[in-house]
Amino acid sequence: MSKTTQSNPQSAMAKLMAAQPNKVVTLKKGETVKAKLTKLTSSEILVDAGAKTEAHVLERDKKIVATILASFKVGDTVEVNVLNPESESGQPIVSLRRYLGNIAWEKLEELQKKTELIEVTVKDSTKAGYLVDTAFGISGFLPQSHIAYSATAVTPGQSLQVSVLELNRKDNKVIFSQKKTMSADDFAKLSKQFKVGEKVTVTVSNVTPFGIFVALPLAKNDTDKTDLEGFIHISETSWEKVADITSIYAPGQKLEAMLSRFDSETRRVSLSIKRLTTDPFEALMEQYPVDKRVSGSVVRLEDGDVVLMINDDEALEGIIKKDKIPPTTTYAVGQTVNLTISDYDKRKHRIIVAPVLLEKPMGYR
């Protein structure tokens, strides 16, 4: 008689349960998990992350919510960051912020690599440029130096086509540009058309508080290439001090300037307007030679130095260096001082002077 083996019902059930995959996932705070979007409205966003209940996507920033609604649809698989595995309502609380950031930065990196244009919206303006927003939630900066020439000014709310110039995710820094990029080879080739010291006629492309951006004239066979950009610093616009150049120069204006430097790193040419004329300070140096005695009126005290107006001429500035001021001597604004010319500061157009002393105090150099 054959032996019949009876199956153990309890053992069979255990095997059946073991064969079934565990569909309930235990979420942990801080972890990133894949989830499927199950509800997508402006008032509520839910995902299925495999937990006992659907997870609630918590985003307080309206811009992020708008980006989620515009970027995804119900059924899409996303990655969420777990904020709370089980809230008081029993639902897990998750966030899509990090996932959106990853997508956005990857997109910017791809755009930069392919040198493709992206549309941004001007949010606000500063002296140095414009704060702009992308459609996928990343904000960046558009410097004045990278604004393309336009007959109309850039204003908040305006949409612009730009390229990604610089990315630094660690510092959350994105720099955009409206101007076409130029290769080092193109810059080298185009700059051979000019030489330092040459006088050229340029067109103003942009005016900023710190200088003027201009376009240089190119040879006819290079008109299809990116313009060769030049820059005239505010200090190079005149031998005299200029407080505001935005009221003097305007985009589209033609100027004559002298080429002073080629910068292969920034692929920009430096120019000067004032160097087309003789520095008037040279004539003043002849008029006021070293050791000549003059009179000065104290205008202000500057980091221990004394700044004076020489011989009642508002255009003639003198300075007593602090190491030339006797230990027991003090000066006040408006005070008249007898001086001797000792040297010149050609860069700042100042005459360096020393007080005339009846006797040399101890410790005076």
- pLDDT tens digits along 75-131: 999 999 999 999 988 899 999 999 999 999 999 999 988 888 999 999 998 888 899
pTM over 0.85: no
From residue 137, alpha-carbon distances to 61, 131, 240 in Å are: 10, 13, 46
Residue 97 CA, distance from chain mean position: 25
Instruction: Please report which confidence band the pLDDT of residue 251 belongs to, taking 50, 70 and 90 as the band edges.
Output: confident
Instruction: Please report which confidence band the pLDDT of residue 164 belongs to, taking 50, 70 and 90 as the band edges.
Output: very high
The pLDDT, as a whole number, for residue 363 is 53
Instruction: Please report which confidence band the pLDDT of residue 209 belongs to, taking 50, 70 and 90 as the band edges.
Output: confident
Spell out the residues 6+ positions from residue 262 whose beta carbon is closer than 8 angstroms to its own: 191, 194, 196, 269, 270
Count helices and strands (H / E) in the chain.
5, 20
Residue 147 near residue 163 (C-beta atoms within 8 A) = no
pLDDT in tens, 17-71: 555 455 678 899 999 999 999 999 999 999 999 999 999 999 988 888 988 998 8
Least confident of 8-17, 31-40, 344-353: 8-17
Instruction: Please report which confidence band the pLDDT of residue 183 belongs to, taking 50, 70 and 90 as the band edges.
Output: confident
Class of domain 32-95: mainly beta
Q: Which amino acid is at 117?
A: L
At residue 2, does pLDDT exceed 50?
A: no
Q: Give me the CATH code for the 184-276 domain, please.
A: 2.40.50.140
The beta strands (E) that lie in the chain are given as: 32-40, 45-48, 55-57, 77-84, 93-95, 117-125, 129-134, 139-143, 159-168, 173-177, 199-208, 211-215, 229-233, 254-263, 268-272, 293-302, 305-310, 317-320, 336-345, 350-355
Least confident of 49-63, 208-222, 265-279: 208-222
The pLDDT, as a whole number, for residue 40 is 95
Residue 154 near residue 130 (C-beta atoms within 8 A) = yes
At residue 307, does pLDDT exceed 90?
A: yes
At residue 13, does pLDDT exceed 70?
A: no
At residue 1, does pLDDT exceed 50?
A: no
Fold agreement between 32-95 and 280-355 = yes
Q: Give me the CATH code for the 110-177 domain, please.
A: 2.40.50.140
CA pair distance 356, 364, nearest whole angstrom: 12
Least confident of 44-53, 204-213, 295-304: 204-213
Least confident of 13-22, 26-35, 144-153, 216-225: 13-22
Average pLDDT, the chain: 86
Q: Give me the CATH code for the 280-355 domain, please.
A: 2.40.50.140
**For range 245-261, the mean pLDDT:** 91
User: How is the chain split into domains, by residue range?
Assistant: 32-95, 110-177, 184-276, 280-355
The pLDDT, as a whole number, for residue 190 is 80
Q: What secondary structure does DSSP assign to 257-270, as a single string?
A: EEEEEEETTTTEEE
At residue 352, does pLDDT exceed 90?
A: yes
Strand, coil or helix: 71? helix
**For range 314-334, the mean pLDDT:** 90
